[in-house]
Amino acid sequence: MSDAHAARRERLSEYCSASGADAALISKPANVQYLTGCAPCGAALLLTRERALLALPGELPPDDSGEHPFAAELPHLAAEPGQDPTEAAAAVAARLGVSDLVVEEHDLTVSRHRAIAEAAPGVRLGDVNLAVERLRVVKDEQELAGLRIAAEIGDQALGELLESILVGRTERHLAMELERRMVDHGADRAGYPVSVGTGSHSGRSDHRPTDRRVEEGDFLTVSLGAQYRGYSVCTTRTFVIGAAPATWQVELHRLVFDAQRAGREALAPGVLGSEPDRAAREVLRAGGYQEERPQPFGHGVGLEVREAPQLGPAEMGKLDNRVPVTVGPGVHLPGRGGVRIEDTLVVRPLEEGGPELLTITTKELLAL
Amino acid sequence: MSDAHAARRERLSEYCSASGADAALISKPANVQYLTGCAPCGAALLLTRERALLALPGELPPDDSGEHPFAAELPHLAAEPGQDPTEAAAAVAARLGVSDLVVEEHDLTVSRHRAIAEAAPGVRLGDVNLAVERLRVVKDEQELAGLRIAAEIGDQALGELLESILVGRTERHLAMELERRMVDHGADRAGYPVSVGTGSHSGRSDHRPTDRRVEEGDFLTVSLGAQYRGYSVCTTRTFVIGAAPATWQVELHRLVFDAQRAGREALAPGVLGSEPDRAAREVLRAGGYQEERPQPFGHGVGLEVREAPQLGPAEMGKLDNRVPVTVGPGVHLPGRGGVRIEDTLVVRPLEEGGPELLTITTKELLAL
C-alpha cells in the first residue's frame, strides 16, 4: 500500500500548490490514515512540497507485534509529553521556512488551532477546505475490496442471528451478540454501535438498544456494519417475529421495500446526489408517508461510516463512478414501530452492470 | 436528578457572571450531560442569567420509550436541517440581547466557532475556560453511587473470566467476551475498549487486542471499565497463565504491586496531584525501572473515562475530597511483556477511612 499512500499524498500536495500553500498539516484521524496507512491515534501529518513527516503523540511503542508499518515508511518524530503532535509538526514547518500552512479547520478545536499558531510564529495559517475528504470520495480497488469484505462479515453475522431464537431476548443482548459475531468473523470492530429496535422501537434510524425484549408479532429492525481494515459499511433489515405478520406490517414493509429499490435504481454516475433520496421519498409519499424535516436516506461510506457525499435533498453534487453509498429509507409510526431497509452499494455505470450491491442479505419480509 | 442539574447550572451561571459573561454556550457532550441529565447526541445548552435552553440536532424522537426526560425538564428547540445546534442556540442568544457569550474553545472546531460567530452577529465570543470540567472534578453522592456500580460490574465480568479456560483464546475474543459480560451485568457499555494483552503484549497501557492466543507461561494483562448511567471506571490486572510463574514474573509483579500500593496510599485531600505518581514511580525506580518519557500513572474518571485531574508528574493542583481517580503504574519489557495494575479510588480524608477502593478484584498474582 505504500505506493498508493504516496500517490494520495502527491495529489494533496498538488492541491496545496494550486491553492498557494507551501504545506498542509493533517490532523483528522481518518485523513491521516488515508494518507499514511496505519497511524497511531493522535498522529498528525505534515506535508511540504519536498517531504512528509508524521508527528506522533509519544515514543513509538516497541513493535515486536509488527503493528506499525508506518515507522519504516515515513520519517516521524515524537511530540514532547503534554505537547499535541500538531504543535510539534507546526514547529517543524516553521523551521523549514514554510510561509503558508493549511490546516483542517473542520477538525481542529479553537484551542488546538491557537497552539499551532503559537508553535509556528510567522507562518500564515489557512484552511485545507476538506481537500482530503474530497480525495477520499472515489475509492480505489483496494478500498472497494475492504468494503466488500466488511459487507460479507455483516451478512454472516446477520445470517447467524436469523437462525437463532429471538423471542424473549433484549435489544441490548442481540446487539452485543451481533457485534461479537462480526469480530469473530474478522472485523476490526463494529463500524458503529449495532442498533436493534423491536416493537415500537422498530424502523427508527437512530435507535439505541434498550432492555426491551423481542415479542411475538413485533417488527424487528437491525442495523449493523462491520469495520474491516478501517473500512465500514451499513446494512439495515426489518423482520417480523412470529409466523403471521399483520396486514399493516406486510403493507408497510412492501412500501419501504419499493422505496428502497427506487433509491437503489436511481444510483448512477453523473446523477445528482439528491436523486436516490428523492426517488425513494416519492414512493413513500405516494403511499401516504411524508416527513416534515426529512433526514437524508443515504450517505457515503469508507474510513468513516458516514462521509461524503450526503445523499439527501440538499446534496448539489453529482455522483461519481466507484463511490460507495448507502440507500436506507424507512418509516416509523410513533407507538407502533416501523420499517427501515438499507444497503451499501458502489456506484457503477450501466455498462458495468449498474450499482454493485455489497450487502446481500435478503430484504424480503422474513417471519422469524 | 432535576434539582441537582439545576444546581449545577446555577454554579456555572455564577462563574459566568463573575467572569463578566452574559451567557454560556456549552457544546461538549459530557458537559451538556452534566448540566442537563440525559441529552441526545449533538445537543447544545445555552445558559443565560434568566434561562436555560437546549438546542437539539433535530425533532425530538417520539418518546414512547420515555428515554428523554429532558424534554419535560428544559425548554428546547430543534435546529434546522443542516444547522448545528450551537448555531441555533447562538442565534437565540443574539435575539435575547446577549453581549458577551462564552463558548467551549477546547471543544468547538474552528469551523463551528466561525459559524457561531456568523449566527450571532454583534455578540462578543469568549472562552468558558474549562469551567464545567472544573465543576465536574468533585463528585456528589449520586455520581459516586454510579461509579460504585460501574466498578462492581467490571469486577463481576473479570471474576467470571477468571473462572473460564483462557489458554488458546485470542486477545480479541477475550476482550469481546468481557465487553458482553459487562453489558449483561447492566453496563450501558464498556467505558473504553477493553484491552487484553498476553505474552509480549502484557503490561502495555495502550494495547489494542490482536489475534495472538493466550499461551502457557504468559503474563495476561486485562484492562476494562464499565460505563453505568454515563459514569466509567478503570481496572487493570495482570495474571500469569499456568501453575508455575517464572521468577522474573513473580518479582516484576511484586514490584508493580508495591508501586501501585504506594500510589494508592499517597491519595489524600490536600495532597499534590503529582504525588501518587511520584510515590509509585519511586518504587519502580528503586527496582531498576525508569521511563524516559513517563506517561502519567493516573487520572480522574467520571462522565469521561479520562478527565481532570491528571495524576502525572506535571500536575500542579491539589487533590480534593470526593474526587475519583485511577492509580495504575506498570512496567513493560519490550519483547517479554510486563505488568500493569490499576484501581479506581475515591479520595477521602483519613478520618473517613482514607481512599475508598471501588475496584475490588484481587491484585495478587493469580496463576490461572
**pLDDT tens per residue, range A268-320:** 999 999 999 999 999 999 999 987 777 889 999 999 999 999 999 888 899 99
Dist. CA B127–CA B107, nearest whole Å: 10
Strand arrangement, sheet containing B235-240? B195-198, B219-224, B235-240
Report the DSSP pairing between strands B124-127 and B100-103: parallel
Asked whether the beta carbons of B87 and B116 are under 8 A apart, the reply is yes
pLDDT, residue B97, reads 95
The pLDDT tens digits of the residues spanning A110-158 come to: 999 999 999 999 999 999 999 999 999 999 999 999 999 999 999 999 9
Asked whether the beta carbons of A121 and A97 are under 8 A apart, the reply is no
Dist. CA A232–CA A238, nearest whole Å: 20
CATH of the domain at A35: 3.40.350.10
User: Does A106 contact B105 at a Cβ distance shorter than 8 Å?
Assistant: no
- Percent of chain B at pLDDT > 70 equals 96
Domain co-membership, B98 together with B196: no
Torsion of CA B130, B131, B132, B133, to 10 degrees: 50
Strands (E), B4-87: 23-26, 44-48, 52-56, 76-78
Nearest to A64 among B80, B294, B335 (CB): B335
Domain co-membership, B295 together with B308: yes
Enumerate residues 6+ apart whose C-beta is below 8 A from B286.
Answer: none
- Touching A: B residues 283-312, CB under 8 Å: 292-295
User: Does A105 contact B109 at a Cβ distance shorter than 8 Å?
Assistant: yes
The pLDDT tens digits of the residues spanning B337-347 come to: 999 999 999 99
pLDDT, residue A1, reads 53
Dist. CA A246–CA A248, nearest whole Å: 6
- Average pLDDT on A230-258 reads 95
Domain co-membership, A105 together with A176: no
The pLDDT tens digits of the residues spanning A148-176 come to: 999 999 999 999 999 999 999 999 999 98
The pLDDT tens digits of the residues spanning B169-197 come to: 999 999 999 998 999 899 999 999 999 99
When pLDDT is cut at 50, 70 and 90, the band that residue B300 belongs to is: very high
CA of A50, closest CA in chain B: separation in Å? 28
pLDDT tops 90 at residue B90 = yes
pLDDT, residue A337, reads 95
Closest CA to B366 of B219, B151, B260, B263: B219
- The better pLDDT of the pair B41, B299 is held by B299
Residue A362, in any domain of the structure? no
pLDDT, residue A73, reads 74
Which of A195-199, A322-326, B364-368 bottoms out in mean pLDDT, i.e. has the lowest?
B364-368
pLDDT, residue B205, reads 87
Domain co-membership, A163 together with A299: yes
Domain co-membership, A123 together with A161: no
pLDDT tops 50 at residue B66 = no
pLDDT tops 60 at residue B361 = yes
Chain B residues with CB inside 8 Å of A108's CB? 109-110
CB-based burial, A259-285: b 16+ in 10 Å, e otherwise: bbbbbbebbbbeeebbbbbbbbbebbe
Domain co-membership, B191 together with B246: yes
Residue B91, in any domain of the structure? yes
* Among candidate residues A84, A103, A136, the one where a domain is terminated: A136
Enumerate residues 6+ apart whose C-beta is below 8 A from B142.
Answer: B1, B4
Domain co-membership, A302 together with A173: yes
* Peptide linkage before B309 cis (omega within 30 of 0): yes
pLDDT tops 80 at residue B47 = yes
CA of B354, closest CA in chain A: separation in Å? 30
Mean pLDDT of chain A: 92
Q: Which residue(s) pair with B224 in the sheet?
A: B235
pLDDT, residue B94, reads 96
Is the CB of residue A115 less than 8 Å away from at least one CB of chain B?
Answer: no
User: Does A183 contact B172 at a Cβ distance shorter than 8 Å?
Assistant: yes
- The better pLDDT of the pair A159, B2 is held by A159
Residue B368, in any domain of the structure? no
pLDDT, residue B64, reads 47
pLDDT, residue B74, reads 85
pLDDT tops 60 at residue B67 = no
The CA–CA distances, whole Å, from A97 to A90, A93, A120 equal: 11, 6, 10
Domain co-membership, A167 together with A285: yes
Residue B108, in any domain of the structure? yes
* Domain interval for residue B202: 141-357
Half-sphere exposure of B172 (CA within 13 A, CB side): 15
Is the CB of residue A60 less than 8 Å away from at least one CB of chain B?
Answer: no
Helix (DSSP H) and strand (DSSP E) numbers for chain B: 10, 19
- Average pLDDT on A339-345 reads 98
User: Does A107 contact B109 at a Cβ distance shorter than 8 Å?
Assistant: yes
pLDDT tops 60 at residue B70 = no
Residue B363, in any domain of the structure? no
When pLDDT is cut at 50, 70 and 90, the band that residue A72 belongs to is: low
pLDDT, residue A69, reads 47
Residue B40, in any domain of the structure? yes
Residue A368, in any domain of the structure? no
What are residue A223's phi and psi, to 5 degrees?
-125, 125
Domain co-membership, B131 together with B182: no
The pLDDT tens digits of the residues spanning B201-217 come to: 999 988 999 999 999 99
What is the dihedral sign for C-alpha A302, A307, A312, A316? negative
- Percent of chain A at pLDDT > 90 equals 82
pLDDT tops 70 at residue B234 = yes
By CA distance, what is B115's nearest residue in A? A106
- Average pLDDT on B144-165 reads 96
When pLDDT is cut at 50, 70 and 90, the band that residue A65 belongs to is: very low
CATH of the domain at A207: 3.90.230.10
What are residue B298's phi and psi, to 5 degrees?
-160, 170
Residue A364, in any domain of the structure? no
When pLDDT is cut at 50, 70 and 90, the band that residue B65 belongs to is: very low
Nearest to A314 among B82, B173, B335 (CB): B82
Domain co-membership, A146 together with A129: no
Q: Over the Cα atoms of chain B, what is R_g? A: 23
Closest CA to A151 of A366, A368, A360, A10: A360
Chain A residues with CB inside 8 Å of B80's CB? 293
Closest CA to B230 of B26, B23, B31, B3: B31
User: Does A62 contact B332 at a Cβ distance shorter than 8 Å?
Assistant: yes
* Among candidate residues B73, B103, B136, the one where a domain is terminated: B136
Strand arrangement, sheet containing A226-228? A189-190, A226-228, A231-232
* Among candidate residues A101, A136, A171, the one where a domain is terminated: A136
Closest CA to B30 of B151, B159, B110, B130: B130
Domain co-membership, A162 together with A19: no
pLDDT tops 50 at residue A66 = no
Alpha helices for A50-198 (secondary structure H)? 70-73, 85-95, 110-119, 131-136, 141-162, 171-184
Dist. CA A129–CA B285, nearest whole Å: 49
Is the CB of residue A129 less than 8 Å away from at least one CB of chain B?
Answer: no
Domain co-membership, A105 together with A146: no
Which of A54-68, A239-253, B98-112, B309-323 bottoms out in mean pLDDT, i.e. has the lowest?
A54-68
User: Does B111 contact A113 at a Cβ distance shorter than 8 Å?
Assistant: no
Complex-level ipTM: 0.85
SS3 call for B110: helix
pLDDT, residue B61, reads 54
Number of domains in chain A: 2
pLDDT tops 80 at residue A68 = no
Select from A65, A101, A332 the residue whose CB has the most chain B CBs within 10 Å, as the one to mutate to test that interface.
A65
